Structure 1
Amino acid sequence: MRRLLMHEVRGVGSLARWVARRTHGVREGDHAAAYTGPQTAMMYGLLFVSVVETVVLTVLLTPWPLVHRIMLVLDVYTVLAVLALHAGCVTRPHVAGADGSLRIRYGALFDLLIAGEQIASVRVERRYPSGGLVQFTPSEGQGDDGSVLDLVVGSQTSVRVELTEPVTFVRPLGRTGRAQVVRFHADEAEELVRVLRATRP
């Protein structure tokens, strides 16, 4: 519950940053990499459906004031939640640090910081996995070595990072894991890879 509440608070903060056109965690000299491209149309489509549903239910439930109020609150919350999720993704991009580090994020739900010296190699690798946002494939018989973390946006990943040693990551609801290969999506994957290679120590 505490983690869910923190996600809600960060969501409100993301909406404020979105309105102010400010990003989170991007310093001077850093390279910000957007990743919202594959999901933007879906997000706005979901938002449109939620708004239409709110209007329709407002009309249909007028004879039942109590039910009308409850549904109105739920629908408005849904609209704000969708906006907050998208705002979080826009205002919290991936960050290739000037020091060679890499910060991989998905809004306020996922945040993994990798030091420059932990990056063994990075390349563009386009994949289209099905399933949820965070997917983890443990290696067999090798401990954490070779374990793969996929951070999937719009059913795709486009960058592969191999590490010198496994890193610990935290899932949105708090469970942890360790992976030595991380795959994620960036809208301009080639540019991000170029910057990471140029800044590697």
Structure 2
Amino acid sequence: MSRGGALRRLAAHEGRWLVSLVWWVARRRIGVAPGERALGYAAAQAALVYGLAFVCVVETVGLSALFADRPVVHGVLLVLDVYTVLMVLGLQASAVTRPHVLGADVLWLRDGARRELRIPVGRIASVRYDLRFSKEEGRAGDGAATGAPAGVAEFAVGGQTSVSVELVEPVVAVGLLGQRTTVGTVRFHADDPRAAVRAVREAVAGAGDGSVGDASGAGGARVTRP
């Protein structure tokens, strides 16, 4: 991707989390239509984000006092520190206001304002509760080329995922800077992963007119189509 394209994507990302702050204050969610189910995932990172925001606020106060007699430096640092605090809070705001969304035809997974992946429900072969620590090299958008063997996309929160989705056909995931990765397995986190598994199972069964059974002893669900 060209440098200009990358800068446009980064600017769009900045705009999304700034907008999320407004929606967060208004206690509203983005992209959840009537009849669709929101699958929240922000709780796992809340303590870390709020702790980091507190540290940033303390630093802002300390630096303001330290450079109070140097107006130019004080002003520049104050702007940077306030923006940093907003950015940290924007991380949580974007996760709260942009939950995963399960519709009748699509499972829409989101990583706050950073990236998203829409999976047609008809392409889901199985879904199961699967708590594990994330692996950075397996995340969507790591630069793997489209057309390569289908890999794994991870939408981790707090360093973990809790739901695994196996696909009948791979989908293409697009990273923050436009990297395209072909994935056949998607792992994501949900605040209530077992409820998320049940909801996806019901959506797949309803979309495929198939039978739902256990995919494994771990509580998975596999849909068998004629």
Q: Which residue of 2 aligns with 1:144?
A: 149
Structure 2 Cα separation of the partners of residues 171 and 194 of structure 1? 28
> 1:157 maps to which residue?
161
Of the three residues 70, 90, 93, the one matched with 1:87 is 93
Q: How many residues align?
A: 197
Question: Following the alignment from structure 2 to structure 1, what is the Cα–Cα distance between the partners of residues 143 and 89?
Answer: 34
> Which structure 1 residue ranges, 4+ long, deviate > 3 Å from structure 2?
130-139
Deviations 1:42-72 (A, max 9, x none): 0000100010000000000112111111110
Structure 1 match to 2:69: 63
- CA drift at 1:173: 2.0
SS, match of residue 35 in structure 2: coil
2:116 maps to which of 101, 111, 117: 111
- CA distance in structure 2 between the partners assigned to 1:178 and 1:77 by the alignment: 35
Shift of 1:187: 0.8
* Structure 2: stretches of 5+ with no match in the other structure: 1-6, 208-226
1:166 aligns with 2:170: yes
Q: Please tell me whether residue 184 in structure 1 is matched to residue 188 in structure 2.
A: yes
Shift of 1:132: 8.0
After superposition, give the CA deviation of every residue in 1:4-53 in whole Å (9 maximum; x if it has no partner).
11111111211111111111111111111111122100000010001000
Measured in 1, the distance between the counterparts of 2:166 and 2:65 equals 55
User: Are residues 86 and 133 of structure 1, via their aligned partners in 2, closer, same or farther at CA, if it must alter by over 3 Å?
Assistant: farther
Q: Does 1:76 align with 2:100?
A: no
Q: 1:101 aligns with which of 100, 106, 116?
A: 106
Residue among 183, 189, 194 paired with 2:198: 194
When normalised by structure 2's length, the TM-score is: 0.82
Identify which of 36, 61, 82 aligns with 2:42: 36
Give RMSD over aligned pairs: 2.0
TM-score by length of 1: 0.92
What secondary structure is seen at the aligned counterpart in 1 of 2:38?
strand
- 1: CA distance between counterparts of 2:111 and 2:197? 18
Distance 1:137 1:164, change over 3 A: farther
- What amino acid maps onto 1:41 in structure 2? A
In structure 2, C-alpha distance between the alignment counterparts of 1:81 and 1:136, rounded to whole Å: 22
